[in-house]
A and B are shown apart, each in its own frame.
Chain A
Amino acid sequence: MRIPFEWLKEFVVIEMEPHELAARLTMRGFEVESVEEVESAFDGVVVGTIAEIEKHPKADKLSLCKVDIGREILSIVCGAKNISPGDRVPVATVGARLSENFLIEKRPVRGIDSFGMLCSEKELGLSNDHSGIFILPEDFVIGSMLAHAPGIRDVVFDISVPPNRGDCLSVYGVAREVASILKQKAKLPIFRLDDGQENIKDYLSLEIHHIGACPRYVLRMIKDISIVSSPFWMRNRIMKCGMRPINSVVDVTNYVMLELGQPLHSFDYERLRGKRIEVRLTEGNDRFRTLDGQDRDLDKGDILICDGEGPVAIAGIMGGENSEISVHTKAVALESAFFNPLFIRKTARRLGIRSEASLRFEKGIDVDNVDFAAERAIFLMNAISGGTVIKGKQEIHERAEKKTISVSFARINEVIGTPIEQQEVVEALRSIDIFVIAALEGNISLSIPLFRHDIVEYMDVIEEVTRIYGFDHIPPTMPVVTVQPQKKGLKDIFTRKTKDYLISAGFSELINFSFSSLKDNENFLIPPSDERTSCVTIMNPLSKDYGIMRTMVAPGILKNVAYNINRGSKNMRFFEMGKVFISNGHGLPEEYPTLCFIMTGKEREYFWREKATDYDFFDIKGVLEGLMGQFGLDFTLMRSEEPFLNRSRAGDILVGGVKAGWIGELKDEVLEAYEIEQKCYCTELRFDIIMAKGNLKVQFQQIPRYPQAVRDFSFYADDAVPVSTLIEEIKMVSPLIQHVGVFDMFKKETRSIALRVIFQSFEDTLKDETVNGLQEIIITKLANIKGVTLRT
């Protein structure tokens, strides 16, 4: 809400600097987001009057003005048509600077020197109006600085009004808070309405069909008016509040709304059919054209304002085209009402209309103010547009009772943690119009003003006391709480351990958006039958790229890889731990914590001592082995059917017989889809499975006191016999075999594999004969495997 400081001062006496008041309002919960100086760049702009106008001898569209600025008469060339002798106008004299790049200089215009410029409202930064020269009010003193004229130089507060404080969506509403700060009472505007002779009952009748939807409705009338442009002071205030002036009738309704917070609507009386107004609820589907020229679909439960034949406005939201005020309007029927916020909210939301009126009705306006606002508006219309006020009003009034809330002083201090005196509590509440109506033994009953729709229980009252007492004055304390052991999060431990491991292994962490797109599934060649096509789809995505919740982490990481390759970085180790989402058809989806890591390029671009080699499958497998070791997990790799993996260099990861993920080289065509032209080795693991199977317990193993024995073996093995088979077979030979390692592998026609076996006894030093015996068994056993021969 934009609040002009000068306007605020009409309701309360403010001697404070605007910035100080802004700070005080902020500490009251009305955050002043900005304190805007209204264009103070008027130095050198003075009030002048047009003495003479002649045609420019060399240009038809220009005129030559003699402008009296008091101390001298200036000759100024002007292109506008809306000026005539005697008009008061703003004159930017030579040397004035209207904006950073707009310095007024003496310069020839089509051969004739011009000593300054006549300004439009836009050129002065007062509005967007550039239709002609800004004609100033008659009371502006010729020769005076424009900046000193009333209403020109001002400060506007942009206040972020809390959503529950609809009562402060007006200058008067904010003035009430300011008055409470300054220990004053805000004063309503004083005026006297001159009623005419004719009675409104002869012009209009009123009927409300649903009192719950509209408990208060006031109609007033004025006739024989002429629609003109509003006076500068009114247009200026409307503009400072961020609205656009339109004409003398519409401006008044907007002005009063900004002033008092009561939205008003004016109908062109002559366009109302049947001399009557009815408020009713829509019963079926209907269609209605609002004054912005759009056809609106009405639904059951919308509040409609109707004349004798049909709808003329959607209550509280927007008027109809059929009864709109126009330049020809002669008589106005003015509506001031209280509409039930629930109805307005529902309709406004459905129609997608957020008008200044609906915004206020939705939050609830001051039902006690409905009549006063109507009177105020009719008074202003009469003052500006002339005409005759029709006597009296048509109204419906379902009386609302003020809420009563009880609370004890003790409870207030108990909740806040303060020793606030009783008298101070009472005064604080009184400053915002909450009055004690009964008091007994430390308990008080309070009456809540009708404009405070947000106060419904005693906690709301305590909030008000806290706010007014001042958060600053409340001492910080430490709570006295029950001591309880902190719950140890298993997931937290697993996650931390994994991250620490991967970071020490040279992987940097990524956090991608959980959004993905169907295109990613396509890029990864995921077939329709795959679980990963059961996507959680977003109904209102920001873009197609963010259309679904991801079912895999890898695609996001590939985008990061491509991003960095494009910026000259080719060697990467990344990991991400995040959720993937699998839809259950409807309701909440499954959310699986997932770990993905990737290696691409090489460890470093170069190192002078040795040649850097590109990563391959065994680099990433090693990282996986190390990770699994952290949690005491064994895993096996099985041939993978994942469509995005190069099958001859990849595998599914099985942990305790359950598929926990996949690992391997991504297919070139998948990489191409992300414009990556280098090999990427990647693995993705369901972290919930790792956590379920993993072990965080550490059990110390005795260190053997006896020396170990070492024997090396070399075999030829066909491709059909995986090394893992050889290792398993050897391990089964004897419990004395502690470790089997592969220390060489090369391939000519068949693979030659060199294994190192470590023998270890915990009971004694192994004798040569024992080890030799086992060596013989190993050789015989392996040589018996089809496709394996001993290399001699």
Chain B
Amino acid sequence: MNIEELHNRVESGIASVKTIEDLKGFKLVLLGRKGLFAEYLDGLKSLNKEERKDFGREINSLKSETEGRLKGLEDHFAEEERKREQERSWIDITMPGKIPLTGRKHPITQTFDEIIRIFSSLGFSVAEGPEVETEHYNFEALNIPKDHPARDMQDTFYIEPGIVLRTHTSPMQIRVMESQLPPVRVIVPGAVYRCDHDVSHTPMFHQVEGLLVDKGVRFSDLKGILTVFIHEMFGPDTPVRFRPSYFPFTEPSAEIDIGCVICAGDGCRLCKETGWLEILGSGMVHPQVLRGVGYDPEEVSGFAFGMGVERIAMLRFGIDDIRQFYYHDTRFLSQF
């Protein structure tokens, strides 16, 4: 039995394998049912026991070695093929991708959300009220009797005698206090209406009202809470100024200014050269208002505040014309 020849045929065969097809063919020739190894193994039958044992071992060892080498070749060709496959699946990765279509929250809603988030963190609940309101809640209960000069401050839309579109969210102060006993801690977001339409006014706009009534609430607390709000809303370094003002339903009343976001206090057109921007109205709830809802001003006290949401949104986003909020140009909406 010529093992040498078998060895040579394996070597020359492997050397001639160039493709995966060659390999498959050679594999068959070598290892197939009627292949070379089968033939040699078959040939063992004609040998004696001793020779059979020796040759058998040699053939089998050569066979497993060959199998291993062929497996190596197979892996090699498979790897080559995978590489070619990858080359074929080339794409131009500079082609534009498909951006999923998502919508945007209106900047006013975003501003509402932020204001509500801050006051929620301070323990305020959220309440809403009717937009068509009685004169009683909109004016009288807020210490603004008929013919009161303060009514001139607000241009009111009337529905019928005694019924108006609310000019502020303040009527909810009364509705909330009438519906519960102190302590009260609530904010009221909502739409309000005044007869005015120009660069800085729209006939409908939005406010957030706030009310806190409890035992022993002081004016200094109003300063504290609203300072926290402003620093959360506009950044911790924002200058804040409280200055005396007048609202019929609060006393003392304070207007709250922040340092101008454009000129940082140097004076510019936005702040009318004052370096300050009016941002909030506030004050201690007027004893007359407390008495009106059946609270005893000697027992409890509190403060209220109100802010224009458009105004805050304009400052946050740098919008210079309030009417932009209501055109709903997609080129506007998509910026937020």
Which residues of A are interface residues toward B (Cβ below 8 A)? 26-29, 31, 33-34, 162-165, 342, 345-346, 349, 362-363, 414-418, 457, 459-460, 462-463, 466-467, 471-472, 474-484, 486-487, 489, 491-492, 499, 502-515, 536-542, 546, 549, 560, 563-564, 567, 569, 572-575, 578-579, 581, 586-589, 591, 603-604, 607-609
Contacts and interface: CB of A to CB of B under 8 A. Distances in A.
Contact of B217 (A163, A481, A489, A546): A481
Closest 9 CB pairs of A and B: A417-B220, A29-B244, A417-B218, A162-B246, A506-B101, A479-B221, A463-B252, A487-B125, A476-B224
Nearest to B253: A463
Contacts of B147: 342, 345-346, 349
A475 B244 CA distance: 15
Contacts of A418: 220
Given A489-B125, A492-B126, A463 B326 contact: no
Given A463-B251, A509-B105, A538-B165, A572 B221 contact: no
B8 to A, nearest CB: 56
Contacts of B301: 415
Contact of B195 (A164, A511, A542, A572): A542
Given A416-B220, A505-B103, A591-B132, A33 B272 contact: yes
Interface stretch (B62-70, B80-88, B151-159): B151-159
Contacts of B130: 588, 591
Given A417-B219, A511-B109, A462 B252 contact: yes
B272 to A, nearest CB: 7
A603 B98 CA distance: 11
A514 B120 contact: no
Interface of B: 95-96, 98, 100-106, 108-109, 120, 123-128, 130-134, 147, 149-150, 152-153, 157-160, 163, 165, 183, 185, 191, 193, 195, 197, 202-204, 212, 214-221, 223-225, 227-228, 241-246, 248, 251-255, 272-274, 284, 286-287, 297, 301, 325-331, 333-334
B98 A609 contact: yes
A163 B326 contact: no
A483 to B, nearest CB: 8
B254 A471 contact: yes
Given A477-B220, A477-B221, A512 B326 contact: yes
11 contacts: A163-B152, A416-B219, A459-B251, A471-B254, A477-B220, A481-B212, A489-B127, A539-B159, A572-B330, A573-B101, A573-B103
Contact of A481 (B120, B150, B183, B204): B183
B279 to A, nearest CB: 14
A102 B219 CA distance: 54
B103 A460 contact: no
Given A482-B214, A486-B120, 15 more contacts: A29-B245, A31-B245, A33-B272, A163-B150, A459-B286, A460-B251, A472-B242, A477-B223, A481-B183, A539-B158, A539-B159, A540-B157, A542-B203, A573-B101, A588-B133
A277 B67 CA distance: 135
Given A538-B158, A607-B98, A591 B131 contact: yes
A574 B218 CA distance: 46
Interface majority SS (helix, strand, loop, mixed), chain B: mixed
B71 to A, nearest CB: 37
A318 B155 CA distance: 24
B126 A489 contact: yes
A588 B134 contact: yes
Given A484-B185, A573-B101, A513 B202 contact: yes
Given A165-B246, A604-B101, A536 B132 contact: yes
Contacts of A480: 216
Given A346-B147, A507-B103, A579 B131 contact: yes
Nearest to A608: B95
B275 to A, nearest CB: 10
Contact of A589 (B106, B132, B330): B132
Given A477-B221, A508-B334, A511-B108, A362 B149 contact: yes
B98 to A, nearest CB: 6
A415 B284 contact: yes
Contacts of B220: 416-418, 474-477
Given A349-B147, A567-B329, A499 B109 contact: yes
A470 B160 CA distance: 43
Contacts of A607: 98
Nearest to A513: B204
Contact of B219 (A165, A466, A503, A539): A466
Nearest to B254: A471
Contact of A538 (B127, B159, B253): B159
Contacts of B272: 33-34
A318 B125 CA distance: 51
Nearest to A504: B102
Given A163-B149, A165-B246, A479-B221, A511 B284 contact: no
Given A474-B219, A503-B104, A163 B158 contact: no
Nearest to B303: A479
Contacts of A349: 147
Given A486-B124, A505-B103, A514-B204, A540 B98 contact: no
Contacts of B224: 476-479
B159 A537 contact: yes
A270 B152 CA distance: 39
